[in-house]
Amino acid sequence: MKIVVLKFGGTSVGSIGRVKNVAKIIIRFLKKRYKVIVVSSAMAGETNKLVKLTKQISNNFISSEYDQVVASGEQVSCSLIAGKLNDQGYLSRSWLGWQIPIFTQGKYSHSRIVSINKKNIIKFLRAGGVPIIAGFQGVNSENRITTIGRGGSDATAIMLAKFFKAEKCIIYTDVDGVYTTDPRVVPRAKKIEKISYEEMLEMASLGAKVMQPHSIQDARLNRIDIEVRSSFKNVSGSLITKRKNVSTKKNIIRGVSFSKNDSKLTLVGVKDRPGVAAAIFEPLFRNSINVDMVVQNISSNEKETDLTFTIKNDDLIKTEKLIKKNKKIKFNNIIIDEKVSKVSIVGVGMITTPGVTYRMFNALAKKNINILVISTSEIKISVLVDRKNLKKAVDVLHKEFKLDY
Amino acid sequence: MKIVVLKFGGTSVGSIGRVKNVAKIIIRFLKKRYKVIVVSSAMAGETNKLVKLTKQISNNFISSEYDQVVASGEQVSCSLIAGKLNDQGYLSRSWLGWQIPIFTQGKYSHSRIVSINKKNIIKFLRAGGVPIIAGFQGVNSENRITTIGRGGSDATAIMLAKFFKAEKCIIYTDVDGVYTTDPRVVPRAKKIEKISYEEMLEMASLGAKVMQPHSIQDARLNRIDIEVRSSFKNVSGSLITKRKNVSTKKNIIRGVSFSKNDSKLTLVGVKDRPGVAAAIFEPLFRNSINVDMVVQNISSNEKETDLTFTIKNDDLIKTEKLIKKNKKIKFNNIIIDEKVSKVSIVGVGMITTPGVTYRMFNALAKKNINILVISTSEIKISVLVDRKNLKKAVDVLHKEFKLDY
């Protein structure tokens, strides 16, 4: 069987008109003789509405009932799609997590799919039916509804693609693919035809609207190719695939990503002793503050060092408070710059291509953009710059690494 | 175990504040050492919203998916109640039809409950838990969600009361009981403490807001006593019970019911031959037009007769059209009066009490109210009057049969 898994996000089923459009997309695949497995999210806004109801009951709403409430959103949308297909003369039915069943383990709201019973779905596909499967949900060993914590409906689609050995897994969403950078910043940004899982993960800031990092990671671990495309216009999207499928000859760098709202903190004259970095970051970690770039300057004074790190602007007030009341550390001064941005170039090609770092720094220097902090990974180089330089930096790097054409 | 089944209608769970109030009512019963089984409807308005979605997809929305869509309403409300009880420190969980399971047979949207697996619920009750059961839904032999056509959540409550041999079955709604007549017409109307199933069924016009006739019939067949009371104020309601439990000494007549918007049609000079009545009513029946009172006058002319019947005003245009284009019947004239109303007195006592009919007609005559049509059943006498006389008729009958005090 030539199986394709099509996943439709909340905005793709966000209105009756859009549900009807989803049916049209499915029928296109049926006409190409694909066996189609559909995964649907809840209609846009529904899940938030349901979550709000539980919060109004209690801020500690019991998670088993929470899962049952929020799972009702997908229950509705997948029936609407199946209903539309039946109306058009196609055999189709909805399947909820417990009906298949999609077995999950782990805590409520944070469950993970451990197995999928294929029997009934295979039988239905053989009979020419289109199963419309509720995303984001499963059933546990106690016969109760669970929801998947990480990746939601995307994760359901990826697991179905894996278990049913699908030829394709297409994630339909409201953007038409992954771009070399944000087109609002660089209008010349181009859609990326193919990108590796690893690059996609590193381009989180650009990709967040496309797919959750956890789902990309799931796809990577299971070697499932994912096509991301728009349900609103019939144009090809971006393929997220294995590294070896991604041609790196033409473009060493695949994209320029950035985060706008960062803050830089420098602790000047930290009394340097073993474990001091842990002492600084532990309270931040315990308060769910995500520390991004970290640089420890070489100290001129052997007993003292300067420590610089970045966080999201939203966490600044909390972070400052935690640092100042931290009795385990001593430092002379704290310097805060809340107007910085991070710009990154991403590409698996940089591993085998020397000089990428130099080209990046040189391009920025030519535009008089000062680099505040640098951090590198195998396939990404990030620099921190003044926020006023952000647009200029993204623009020059996009040009330097030939992403314009 | 001293079990009570509490059923909460849509308005009783129509907002977060009301769900919290429902939890309070449940806790009152727990404090009286009852084992409480709760049945919940969907939050008011939700089912209509869901039905509308299916209609926007198709006017012929496939019934299996329809059931799954509308069943999601109860799924949410019962979890919210369970969540609130947990928040208050009580052991509680929701149970959907398929989780218990509540097995149904018959067509989708018109299924009926055939069995309820008691095991897990009994175990949970013994452990001190409060099961919150989604009304209106079950599961069929194909493991798919079904909804109960007749009586909805009330029917679920009655079947649970039957299977669990509950001591009480209380239907919480937005009215505080059954009244001797509509208090908006006769402000002296009194709440009826006890009423028989049969009387309740005959008082449909007053009772429709209280309980669906099908559920009353279910309760009657299973000999389940039902208390109807308000979830908004803590006052005793009305008990719907077996005929022998209803004292009839004091009041021969239990209530005066009425329907406002009737139309009377008279076919004058119908050519009388066998089967002519069937020929008149068959097309009405096939178009779901409910014919209420029917009178065939004795004809002076052996070959002709006058036939009078009543229908709801809403059906008048359709009925007139169907009668006029009916080729199977012949008549001289059609007289329509669209300003008539039906007034009924109801009471099991009338079976053993002579003179009730006389007293009714006499009371109306004294007020110069002309009777247009009469129809009688074992425990009900109905008369058709001009609409302008409706209020006066209800008022005088309420007084005549000592319902004022």
**3-class SS string, chain B:** CCEEEEEECCHHHCCHHHHHHHHHHHHHHHHCCCEEEEEECCCCCHHHHHHHHHHHHCCCCCHHHHHHHHHHHHHHHHHHHHHHHHHCCCCEEEECCCCCCEEEECCCCCEEEEEECCHHHHHHHHCCCEEEEECCEEECCCCCEEEECCCHHHHHHHHHHHHCCCCEEEEEECCCCCECCCCCCCCCCCECCEEEHHHHHHCHHHHCCCCCHHHHHHHHHCCCCEEEEECCCCCCCEEEECHHHCCCCCCCCCEEEEEEEEEEEEEEEEECCCCHHHHHHHHHHHCCCCCCCEEECCCCCCCEEEEEEEEEHHHHHHHHHHHHCCCCCCCCEEEEEEEEEEEEEECHHHHCCCCHHHHHHHHHHHCCCCCCEEEEECCEEEEEEEHHHHHHHHHHHHHHCCCCC
A79 inside 8 A of chain B by CB: yes
- Rounded to the nearest 5 percent, the helix, strand and coil shares of chain A are 35, 30, 35
Pairwise CB contact (< 8 Å): B65 & A86: yes
Tokens for A92, please give them.
């189709």
Pairwise CB contact (< 8 Å): B69 & A82: no
- Measure Cα distances from B33 to A378, B91, B149, B225, B308 in Å: 66, 14, 34, 20, 58
Q: Which residues of chain B have pLDDT under 50?
A: none
Where b means 16+ CB within 10 Å and e means fewer, A295-324 reads beeeeeeeeebbbbbbbbeebbeebeebbe
When CB atoms are compared, the residue of B83, B93, B99 closest to A54 is B83
Residue of chain B whose alpha carbon sits nearest to that of A88: B58
Helix (H, G, I), strand (E, B), or coil: what is residue A198?
A: helix
The residues with which A112 forms a beta bridge, in sequence order, are A105
Q: Which residues of chain A have pLDDT under 70?
A: 205-209, 247-249, 298-301
Peptide bond into A101 cis (omega under 30): yes
B143 inside 8 A of chain A by CB: yes
Architecture of the structural domain at B3-174: 3-Layer(aba) Sandwich (3.40)
Pairwise CB contact (< 8 Å): B80 & A86: no
The residues, any chain, with a CB within 8 Å of residue B50's CB and separated by 6 or more, are: A76, B42, B69, B70, B72, B73
Total beta-carbon pairs less than 8 A apart between chain A and chain B: 104
Whole-prediction pTM: 0.86
Pairwise CB contact (< 8 Å): B57 & A87: yes
Peptide bond into B131 cis (omega under 30): no
A chain contacts of residue B97, beta-carbon cutoff 8 Å:
none
B19 inside 8 A of chain A by CB: yes
B317 inside 8 A of chain A by CB: no
Q: What is the largest CA-CA distance in chain B?
A: 79
Q: Which residue has the tokens 């149904």?
A: B104
CA distance, residue A12 to nearest chain B CA (Å):
15
The sheet carrying B226-230 orders its strands as: B92-95, B130-134, B35-40, B3-8, B168-173, B226-230, B238-241, B194-196
- Please report the pLDDT score of residue A212 as a whole number: 81
Q: Closest by alpha carbon to A63, among B122, B15, B87? A: B87
Residue A216, burial from CB neighbour count under 10 angstroms (0-12, 13-18, 19+): buried
The residues with which A341 forms a beta bridge, in sequence order, are A385
A94 inside 8 A of chain B by CB: yes
Q: What are phi and psi of B11, to 5 degrees?
A: -70, -30
Please give the Cα distance from B328 to B192 (Å, whole number). Answer: 48
- Please report the pLDDT score of residue A248 as a whole number: 60
Helix (H, G, I), strand (E, B), or coil: what is residue A244?
A: helix
CA distance, residue A95 to nearest chain B CA (Å):
9
When CB atoms are compared, the residue of B80, B82, B98 closest to A98 is B98
Q: Closest by alpha carbon to B142, among B170, B103, B178, B193? A: B103
The residues, any chain, with a CB within 8 Å of residue A49's CB and separated by 6 or more, are: none
Helix (H, G, I), strand (E, B), or coil: what is residue A302?
A: coil
Helix (H, G, I), strand (E, B), or coil: what is residue A30?
A: helix
A chain contacts of residue B56, beta-carbon cutoff 8 Å:
16
Residue of chain A whose alpha carbon sits nearest to that of B57: A84
A13 inside 8 A of chain B by CB: no
Tokens for B358, please give them.
């006389």
Pairwise CB contact (< 8 Å): A96 & B68: yes
Please give the Cα distance from B253 to B262 (Å, whole number). Answer: 24
When CB atoms are compared, the residue of B64, B94, B143 closest to A68 is B94
- Please report the pLDDT score of residue A54 as a whole number: 97
CA distance, residue A68 to nearest chain B CA (Å):
7
Tokens for A28, please give them.
């296109």
The residues with which B207 forms a beta bridge, in sequence order, are none
When CB atoms are compared, the residue of A50, A71, A93 closest to B64 is A93
Q: Does domain B255-400 have CATH number 3.30.2130.10?
A: yes
A50 inside 8 A of chain B by CB: yes
When CB atoms are compared, the residue of A20, A69, A86 closest to B80 is A69
Pairwise CB contact (< 8 Å): A64 & B144: no
CA distance, residue A175 to nearest chain B CA (Å):
25
A chain contacts of residue B94, beta-carbon cutoff 8 Å:
65, 68
A chain contacts of residue B84, beta-carbon cutoff 8 Å:
57-58
Pairwise CB contact (< 8 Å): B80 & A65: yes
Interface test with B, best of A62, A108, A124 (most B CBs within 10 A): A62
Q: What are phi and psi of A254, to 5 degrees?
A: -95, -25
- Measure Cα distances from B256 to B187, B203, B339, B391 in Å: 13, 8, 20, 11
When CB atoms are compared, the residue of A65, A75, A83 closest to B83 is A65
- Please report the pLDDT score of residue B140 as a whole number: 98
Q: Backbone dihedral region of B152: left (phi > 0), alpha (psi from -120 to 50 degrees) or beta?
A: left
A82 inside 8 A of chain B by CB: yes
Please give the Cα distance from B11 to B18 (Å, whole number). Answer: 8
**Contact (CB, 8 A) for B359 and B325:** no
Enumerate the CATH 3.40.1160.10 domain ranges in chain A, comma separated.
Answer: 3-174
Q: What DSSP designation does A272 have?
A: -
- Measure Cα distances from A311 to A293, A384, B246 in Å: 8, 12, 75
CA distance, residue B47 to nearest chain A CA (Å):
12
Enumerate the CATH 3.30.2130.10 domain ranges in chain B, comma separated.
Answer: 255-400
State how beta strands B380-386 and A380-386 pair: unpaired
Residue of chain A whose alpha carbon sits nearest to that of B80: A54
A chain contacts of residue B75, beta-carbon cutoff 8 Å:
68-69, 71-72, 75
- Please report the pLDDT score of residue B7 as a whole number: 98
CA distance, residue A23 to nearest chain B CA (Å):
11
